[in-house]
Structure 1
Amino acid sequence: MKKFLLIVCLSVFFTASFSQGYKIKGEIKNMQDTTAILAYYFGGKQYATDTTDVVKGKLTFSGDKELEGGIYLVVLPGGKYFELIISEQKFSFTTDKNDLVQSMRFQNSRENTAFYEYLNYITEKQNEVSPLKEKQSNAKSEEEKEKIQQEIAKVDEGVRSYRNIFNNKYPNVFFSKIIRATTDIKIPETPLDSTGKPKENFQFYYYKRHFWDNMDFSDQRMLRTPIFFN
């Protein structure tokens, strides 16, 4: 009898420990009591898959069936939202309503920790470029505009370099696949034809043939991202 009870207890324990489903717990500081929606991208649109109450800033999305992987959105009142990578099915986060991206921290989610490391870097660079573009639009001479454009190009080059660094640092996270998929194809120098002239339309046809080279079509998570429609 004791052995039977032990087997039953162990069975319940392992079933609970390795059960299917998802559970995403969060805390949003400075958030009033409200309702939050968990949605995903698909076919150029967003679809709600779960809703939950936010009480004293705390919320939990959960279900018995695992979520399909991809990029999801947590939608809040007033048009506010933030994105999550769904790959791990059970993790938690904390953030602040007044600064959703920079305040974001995760537990048990390497995917989202890497994702928000990237988002914070891009936000920082966007904050650098925005005043430069405004300054450029108000510049009175072409010389001044060109000088500012060089500053913008320098920031852009830094972003391209960072994308490579990110890919090398996190080669196996899902967002690295997205970065690779959205990286421009490098077009080689136009070869010469039999007459010694550059081949006509070479760059166009090369770009067309290699457009999808960096896309991993074997990963179903790509379907639930906005990259096909941006």
Structure 2
Amino acid sequence: MHPRSKLLFKRLLLVILCALPLFSQAQKRQKSHDISFQIDGYPNEKITLAYHQQGKHYIEDSLFTDGRGRAVWNHIEDIPRGVYLAVFPALGNIYFEFIVSGNESFDIRTSADNVVDNLAFQGSAENDVFYQDMDQMAALSKQANALNAQIQGANAEQKKVLRDQIEVLSQTIKASRAALMREHSTLFYATLLGVMQETEIPEELSEADNRVKFQYYHDHFLDYIDFSDPGIIRTPVFHNKMMNYLDKATEQVPDSLMKAAVNIVELSRANDDVFQYVLVQVLNKYANSEIVCMDKIYVELVMRYYKTGLAYWTDSTQNAKIVERGMALAPIVCGQIAPEMCLYDHNFTFPANRLNEVCLDNIESDYTILFIYDPDCGHCKKATPKLVDFYEKFIDYDISVYAVSTTVHDSAQVAEWHEFIESKGLEKFYNVADLFNNRGMRDNYDLSATPVVFVLDADKGIIGKRLGIEQIEQFIRSYWSSNDRERFDRAENDFGPLKDFIEELRRQREAGEDEGHFEGDGHDH
């Protein structure tokens, strides 16, 4: 497969393409908005037409050439704009890319013996500019690759000269594409280059603090994207741009990500197709995230767009399920006050005729670990001793454990619960249960499996959730590093650097010494 068939969408140093001549041959114009293919030496064979989306290729249509190698794709005005691929199965799935803008008929001609080298367009300004730009970029890339190869054996002075020359080529690319965007502003390819445009820190911020530079980078990351053009979602660059905005151009904390997610969704509302694509992709990203507290973003999107009926493409049944899920999570996202629980203390003899309640809100500790478990859960049995170890290690750090068993008022279950507390050494915890299943514990905490861990601050605000027992120390010390510096410094002195602890956890995982369970790996409820 010749590399020219791929779009040149990366930085100069990351692109390796060869410049190829472009030969033009005219074909008879189509009367309607059609694309004609003339593939010499490819009679009575299949052409698969596909498009880019989500970093993948999806089939749009299939054509079959006649005995002369000719085929016509009719009514492309009904085909969404974007970057498409013509794939030739009989030639080992070799393909070339072309742009469909929906408003022009054009002809494509090539030959089976060299599909890419002999590629020519007639009547398509979009594809003429597209391939002319690729040829220029390929030529400049070839020069940069040659210079880069020389760096390997060069001395310091020579390296500086070579890097300066590469920088000149890089600036040439930027200037050329900026000019192309100005001169061909009405073409879809100009819109495509806008998606590819990189954010540069202005000279006046060159001496600024890194946080200031990063904020500028974040604020201007999407500046050149035309969200009103539906064609951007059928390209190989938009999806990655969107994900890079969230993953690389935004601080990786829930509140910052929530604002970024809402921002890009709001921008996407300039076009219905783009809005649907962006909202669904971002919603799914955070619905399935295993990163602590990221469900907060999911809930925000559900409340803004699904609960209000703005996600018009979703049928009523599916919309109701999404909203129901969002409503269940809303009270227990990070930043919310944990729902109050007043549950029954374990100090009683079955059958219970006198029960004492212990309320979560009445625990006076700077931090509380809310641990919900099932005494009969296999992973709970393995994980609980690690929680005891954590508690004892940080016993002087004002951390309490409110341990909630799923036990109900049954003689066998109560006996099992009491034995679990004694055998696992939980006597220093607050040991409680919703014995009569009438305190709403399961619903309030969206309990579907055990064990479940929440980390609460002094006000019982949720600062962490859905952690594995093995993750608690890393999480809370990381939290202290930004929010409780005195405790963080004390822990660094008492237990060694956090980075060393994290490295040891990584080593244990790689060696298979730590099973690396997350919450909910045990019993379903």
Q: TM-score, normalised by structure 2?
A: 0.36
Alpha-carbon distance in structure 2 between the residues aligned to 1:165 and 1:29: 36
- State the aligned residue count: 205
Q: Of Structure 1 and Structure 2, which has the larger fraction of its residues in strand?
A: 1
What corresponds to 1:72 in structure 2? Answer: 84
Structure-2 change in CA distance of 1:191 and 1:38 (3 Å): closer
Aligned identity (percent) is 26
What is the SS of the residue equivalent to 1:212? coil
2:223 to 190, 213, 216: 213
- Once the two structures are TM-superposed, the CA of residue 17 in structure 1 deviates from its matched residue by 5.7
Q: Looking at CA atoms only, which structure, 1 or 2, has the larger radius of gyration?
A: 2
- Once the two structures are TM-superposed, the CA of residue 41 in structure 1 deviates from its matched residue by 0.8
Please say if 1:168 is aligned against 2:179.
Answer: no
Alpha-carbon distance in structure 2 between the residues aligned to 1:41 and 1:60: 22
Alignment check: 8 A CA contact 1:70 1:86 kept: yes
Where has structure 1 moved over 6 Å in runs of 4 or more? none
Alignment check: 8 A CA contact 1:71 1:224 kept: yes
Q: Show the 5 A alignment for 1:48-87.
A: 48-54=59-65, 58-63=69-74, 66-76=78-88, 77-87=91-101
Alpha-carbon distance in structure 1 between the residues aligned to 2:234 and 2:47: 20
Alignment check: 8 A CA contact 1:40 1:49 kept: yes
Alpha-carbon distance in structure 2 between the residues aligned to 1:218 and 1:152: 35
2:151 to 123, 131, 136: 136
What corresponds to 1:109 in structure 2? Answer: 124
Residue ranges of structure 1 left out of the alignment (5+ in a row): 1-15, 193-197
Please say if 1:44 is aligned against 2:55.
Answer: yes
What residue identity is the alignment partner of 2:136? Y
Please say if 1:159 is aligned against 2:159.
Answer: no
Alignment check: 8 A CA contact 1:182 1:227 kept: yes
Q: Larger deviation: 87-96 or 54-63?
A: 54-63
Q: Larger deviation: 120-129 or 29-38?
A: 29-38
- Once the two structures are TM-superposed, the CA of residue 215 in structure 1 deviates from its matched residue by 0.6
What residue identity is the alignment partner of 1:48? I
Structure-2 change in CA distance of 1:98 and 1:17 (3 Å): closer
Q: Larger deviation: 92-101 or 201-210?
A: 92-101
Structure-2 change in CA distance of 1:54 and 1:143 (3 Å): farther
Alpha-carbon distance in structure 2 between the residues aligned to 1:224 and 1:180: 14
Alpha-carbon distance in structure 2 between the residues aligned to 1:141 and 1:56: 61
Alpha-carbon distance in structure 2 between the residues aligned to 1:219 and 1:161: 24
Alpha-carbon distance in structure 1 between the residues aligned to 2:51 and 2:68: 22
- Once the two structures are TM-superposed, the CA of residue 92 in structure 1 deviates from its matched residue by 0.5
Q: TM-score, normalised by structure 1?
A: 0.76
What corresponds to 2:237 in structure 1? Answer: 227
What is the SS of the residue equivalent to 1:202? helix
Alpha-carbon distance in structure 2 between the residues aligned to 1:201 and 1:94: 52
What corresponds to 1:12 in structure 2? Answer: none
What corresponds to 2:329 in structure 1? Answer: none
What is the SS of the residue equivalent to 1:201? helix
What corresponds to 1:190 in structure 2? Answer: 205
Alpha-carbon distance in structure 2 between the residues aligned to 1:145 and 1:191: 23
Alignment check: 8 A CA contact 1:42 1:225 kept: yes
Alignment check: 8 A CA contact 2:233 2:239 kept: no
- Once the two structures are TM-superposed, the CA of residue 150 in structure 1 deviates from its matched residue by 2.1
What corresponds to 1:126 in structure 2? Answer: 141
Please say if 1:23 is aligned against 2:17.
Answer: no
Structure-2 change in CA distance of 1:179 and 1:191 (3 Å): closer
What corresponds to 2:214 in structure 1? Answer: 204
Deviation by residue 1:129-173 (Cα, 9 ceiling, x = unmatched): 222222323x14233333222222222111111112211221110
What residue identity is the alignment partner of 2:128? T
What is the SS of the residue equivalent to 1:60? strand
Deviation by residue 1:11-34 (Cα, 9 ceiling, x = unmatched): xxxxx966xxx5321224565764
Deviation by residue 1:173-205 (Cα, 9 ceiling, x = unmatched): 00111112221223232399xxxxx45611101
Alignment check: 8 A CA contact 2:87 2:94 kept: yes
What residue identity is the alignment partner of 2:124? S
Structure-2 change in CA distance of 1:92 and 1:136 (3 Å): same
Alignment check: 8 A CA contact 1:104 1:116 kept: no
What residue identity is the alignment partner of 2:232? M
What residue identity is the alignment partner of 2:155? S
Residue ranges of structure 2 left out of the alignment (5+ in a row): 1-29, 241-525
1:98 to 75, 100, 114: 114
Structure-2 change in CA distance of 1:204 and 1:50 (3 Å): same
Structure-2 change in CA distance of 1:191 and 1:120 (3 Å): closer
